[in-house]
């Protein structure tokens, strides 16, 4: 048991902040969608994001959290996010001062 506690402690110390989590449904085969969104976030926020975690789930789940804040829930929104929406919401939590260029200019 001591080995398991030490392993968990080591993993926690490796986590980098800010952390974004994408929980996706394995039954629905949404891994590719989740991985693509993770890639887009990492490319856009290359110096602001510490890590993006892909978390397998079930039951139709597709949720995105940044710093433990829910920023997208497919069950609440009734759809998947457009990547521009997701980038804006992530930015608002982890880097509010960041200019998203054409994404910001396309609002309203």
Q: pLDDT, tens digit, for every residue of 6-35?
A: 665 655 556 678 999 999 999 999 999 999
Mean pLDDT of the chain, nearest integer = 89
CATH code for the domain in which residue 53 is found: 3.40.30.10
User: In 1-108, which ranges are E strands?
Assistant: 19-25, 51-57, 62-66, 69-73
Q: Which domain holds residue 45?
A: 19-105
Tokens of 98: 């960041």
Structural domains in the chain (count): 1
Domain membership of residue 11 (yes or no) is no
Q: pLDDT, tens digit, for every residue of 87-103?
A: 999 999 999 999 998 77
Residue 29: alpha-carbon gap to chain centroid: 17
Domain membership of residue 88 (yes or no) is yes
In the 8-state DSSP scheme, what is residue 75?
H
Tokens of 24: 């996706």
Domain membership of residue 76 (yes or no) is yes
5 CB-near residues (< 8 Å, 6+ apart): none
Domain membership of residue 14 (yes or no) is no
pLDDT of residue 107: 56
């Amino acid at each position: 048991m001591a080995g398991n506690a030490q392993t968990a402690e080591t993993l926690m110390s490796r986590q980098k902040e800010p952390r974004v989590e994408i929980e996706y449904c394995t039954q629905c085969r949404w891994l590719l969608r989740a991985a693509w969104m993770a890639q887009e976030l990492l490319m856009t926020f290359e110096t602001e994001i510490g890590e993006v975690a892909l978390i397998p789930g079930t039951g139709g789940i597709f949720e995105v959290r940044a710093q433990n804040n829910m920023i997208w829930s497919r069950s609440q929104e009734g759809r998947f996010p457009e990547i521009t929406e997701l980038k804006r919401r992530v930015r608002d939590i982890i880097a509010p001062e960041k200019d998203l260029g054409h994404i910001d200019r396309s609002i309203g």
